[in-house]
Structure 1
Amino acid sequence: MQRRHDIDALRVIAFSLLILYHSAMVYVADWDFHIKSAYQVEWLQYPMIALNRWRMPLLFMISGVALGLAGIEGRRWRFAGSRSLRLLVPLAFGMLVVVPPQTYFQVMAQFGYTGSFAQFYPLYLVHGLCRGDQCLLTPTWNHLWYLAYLLPYTLLLLAAIPLLRWLRERLGDAEPNRLAAALLLALPILWLLGVRLWLAPRFEETHALIGDWTVHAESLPLFLLGYVLATRTGFWNWAQRLRWRTLGVAMLAIGMELGLRWLGHHPPAGPMPEWTLQVPWYTVERVARVTYTWMALLAIFGWGRAWLNRPFRWLPYCSEAVFSWYILHQTLIVALAWWLIPMRLGAATEASLVVAGTIAVCLLLHEGLIRRIGWLRPLFGLKPRPKPTA
């Protein structure tokens, strides 16, 4: 297996950002979440949008890159069995053990449920709870939906390896020429634009796997593309060389999207100029959105290769820990917020304690229990501990 320190580091960073993102969901105004603080602000939407546009596309593309670097072609069906087990076990454990507490706090906060957790858990296992026409279907995977999607994506990739290898060989190892570079810049944007203009209005993003066509159309191609590009040295050199330009275009695109969003919420007083009525602003905003997504991914990969492709001392530990932190973090966020919100500590203090508490408990549980107890490791996606050498 080839070792790409920049890809490992980007994976750690991307998963780490989930703690900040999901903590901020408690405080961002007008966005639904399992539990909401009294301290909600609208301005938080803008950095959240800037992060949200690429955080999951990055994770899916990194997952594809990791498979491309793993050299699985000669053992793909054996790998299918091991990968299925490594994803299904923590997913099932998460749904049965880790997720129920956050769902319990949610039904208390949103549905006014007053029973104990022991009374709630059988309801969680069987059919969930309803309030009027609003129902919470359980069991649920909540934030663990990424694992539920990664498994079928991986099996599809393994089945398509002959075609994907052919595409990879056609790309070659040289840097893209002008035509290939133009296609690498334009085709993903055009695909994502089609998803946003055609699929997204028809199929709401549900994270329910079945029928979630908008998410599949965005995530699966990026996952497969990551596999195809994983070993193409020319592509990574090209992304690194263009990193300033892709960063600049990404900043312009997100500035346009957020600017149009702000104007939509705060229209200027007085009549609008005639020419503005002729502009298809929805399409312009969608173009800006998808341009930002792809340019941000290219910039992240380019800057990651420039700055992160070295064996940091912290990287092996964090690469192992990130999976258990991912499984634990949202339940800890919801539990801490439920405990802190009634104290009325102030926005900065409350939010800081939610983030710091989540990090501290993740560290304590991973370091003190998960990585040290053999039977816990597979429940959190960790490989078995290596046997000591004689």
Structure 2
Amino acid sequence: MTTVQTDERRHDLDALRVFCFGTLIIYHSSLVYGAKSWWIHSSDTSTLIDLIALGSHPWRMSLLFFISGLVTASLLKKRSVAEIRRVRTTQLLLPFVLGVLLVVPPQIYVSPYNPRPDLSYWEFWTSYFISNLRLEHMWFLAYLWVYIFVWSVAHPVIMRRWPGLSATLAAHLRGKGLFLAPIAFLSFLRVSLYPTFHETLVITTDFYSHAVYCSMFMAGSLLVNERSFWREVDGQRWISLCTAAMSLSALAALFVLIPREEMSEALIGVARIIRSTFQWSAILTLLAFAGRLASCPNRIIKHLNGSIMTYYIVHQTVIVLAAYHFAQAGLLDIYSFIPIILITAFICVLVAEVTSLVASYLTPIVRGIARGEREVQKPPSEAV
């Protein structure tokens, strides 16, 4: 049964984080062979490959932000809001900066979208740094920091003015309300905001994504300790599983049978509602079954969870570079899909392990230096 572990780590959430970030490697690799253009795109495409995105993209990032809200609010047991904001800023800022400056540029440089392919990499990087910085997949870190800041401002106000808001929200998410209210909300956003704003992944213009992801983050922060919600999620697990399976089947059928350009506006609206249904029911299903199947400590999950941010930062650039070299060798076809996934996973593991070793070596040195500075700064004792 899904439980709220108030005095210990939520191992189910660790497992879900690893699962979500792990599927990103498969998802981004599939974009090389999908119908839409990407950084590196194979001429050998497959409609079946596009079903990977159809079946994983609607729920993955929403679930990650929901989990981030859960984890952030759970830290209140040991830290103040200001401390949480400071710690999370430290955790997110350095990877974000390094990612934007060092990890993103190679993707652009080897892609057909490089505006100056005649430049050396150093000349390209200098131009990129001066005038063309891009977030790319680092958008997740930037958005997460923004939502943590919003939460840090909103949480004290909510606790002061609406102390029962969490319990009220959980009370409404019972029975049919567990499905109808969130699906109606997500459908409204998908039908009203998405046609105008789309998903830009540009932090200043991505109004639809902010509406979805910030809502998910805040919902997670409110529901983390609401036992009635978690009992309801567990109790409705088979309904959520069936709903997810049926809505995904409907989406897949529409995608395969009717080309997007031939869909009427009414059918597009229906598809968006079905997508929102799949989005929320898949999230509920994963939360419920993770609570049952991954509620105990697992050494592999624990190890991967400690390195998962490194995997996230590195993986997309590795995929693009691997696909680029396959293309240069004339081997970028559908049969290279699995090899690219395996190469990416291997390099992510390698980078994560090396990073962990370096960090374990440097941390005692940094602490020793800091301790020495504090001792030097202590005023001398007065003579007796």
TM-score using structure 1 length: 0.84
Question: Is 2:33–2:41's contact at 8 Å kept on the other side of the alignment?
Answer: yes
Question: Is 2:118 the counterpart of 1:114?
Answer: yes
Q: 5+ residue gaps in structure 2?
A: 1-6, 369-384
Question: Is 2:17 the counterpart of 1:11?
Answer: yes
Change in CA separation of 1:163 and 1:246 when aligned onto 2, cut-off 3 Å: farther
Higher helix proportion (structure 1 or 2):
2
In the alignment, the residues of structure 2 paired with residue 19 and residue 179 of structure 1 have an alpha-carbon distance, to the nearest angstrom, of 33
Identity, % of aligned pairs? Answer: 28
Instruction: Read off the aligned partner of 1:236 and give its amino acid letter.
Output: W
Q: Which residue of 1 aligns with 2:283?
A: 297
Question: Is 2:236 the counterpart of 1:242?
Answer: yes
Question: Is 2:30 the counterpart of 1:45?
Answer: no
In the alignment, the residues of structure 2 paired with residue 333 and residue 219 of structure 1 have an alpha-carbon distance, to the nearest angstrom, of 25
For residue 355 of structure 1, the aligned residue among 314, 319, 341 is 341
After TM superposition, give the deviation of residue 361 of structure 1 in Å.
1.1
Instruction: Read off the aligned partner of 1:320 and give its amino acid letter.
Output: G
For residue 258 of structure 2, the aligned residue among 264, 281, 288 is 264
Question: Is 2:91 the counterpart of 1:90?
Answer: no
Q: Which residue of 2 aligns with 1:207?
A: 201
Q: Which residue of 2 aligns with 1:33?
A: 38
In the alignment, the residues of structure 2 paired with residue 118 and residue 63 of structure 1 have an alpha-carbon distance, to the nearest angstrom, of 36
Instruction: Read off the aligned partner of 2:245 and give its amino acid letter.
Output: M
Change in CA separation of 1:309 and 1:267 when aligned onto 2, cut-off 3 Å: same
After TM superposition, give the deviation of residue 111 of structure 1 in Å.
5.2
Q: Which residue of 2 aligns with 1:157?
A: 151
Instruction: Read off the aligned partner of 2:57 and give its amino acid letter.
Output: N
Question: Is 1:5–1:310's contact at 8 Å kept on the other side of the alignment?
Answer: yes
State the superposition RMSD in angstroms: 2.9
After TM superposition, give the deviation of residue 252 of structure 1 in Å.
1.1
SS of residue paired to 2:331: coil
After TM superposition, give the deviation of residue 71 of structure 1 in Å.
2.0
Instruction: Spell out the pairing of 1:222-241 with structure 2 (5 A cutoff).
Output: 222-241=216-235
For residue 331 of structure 1, the aligned residue among 307, 317, 339 is 317
Aligned length: 360
TM-score using structure 2 length: 0.85
Q: Which residue of 1 aligns with 2:84?
A: 79
Question: Is 1:38–1:341's contact at 8 Å kept on the other side of the alignment?
Answer: no
In the alignment, the residues of structure 1 paired with residue 170 and residue 77 of structure 2 have an alpha-carbon distance, to the nearest angstrom, of 26
SS of residue paired to 1:44: helix
Q: Which residue of 1 aligns with 2:138?
A: 144
For residue 128 of structure 2, the aligned residue among 119, 124, 127 is 124
- C-alpha deviations, 1:209-263, integer Å up to 9, x for none? 1121000111110110011111112211211121111010111112222222333
Question: Is 2:287 the counterpart of 1:287?
Answer: no
Change in CA separation of 1:229 and 1:377 when aligned onto 2, cut-off 3 Å: farther
Change in CA separation of 1:36 and 1:64 when aligned onto 2, cut-off 3 Å: same
In the alignment, the residues of structure 2 paired with residue 280 and residue 36 of structure 1 have an alpha-carbon distance, to the nearest angstrom, of 32
- C-alpha deviations, 1:33-89, integer Å up to 9, x for none? 111123221222123111111011011111011112222685111221221122111
After TM superposition, give the deviation of residue 176 of structure 1 in Å.
6.3
Question: Is 2:69–2:221's contact at 8 Å kept on the other side of the alignment?
Answer: yes
Instruction: Read off the aligned partner of 1:198 and give its amino acid letter.
Output: S
Question: Is 2:355 the counterpart of 1:370?
Answer: yes
- C-alpha deviations, 1:149-185, integer Å up to 9, x for none? 0011001111111355476745549x96687433332
Q: 5+ residue gaps in structure 1?
A: 128-137, 269-275, 379-383
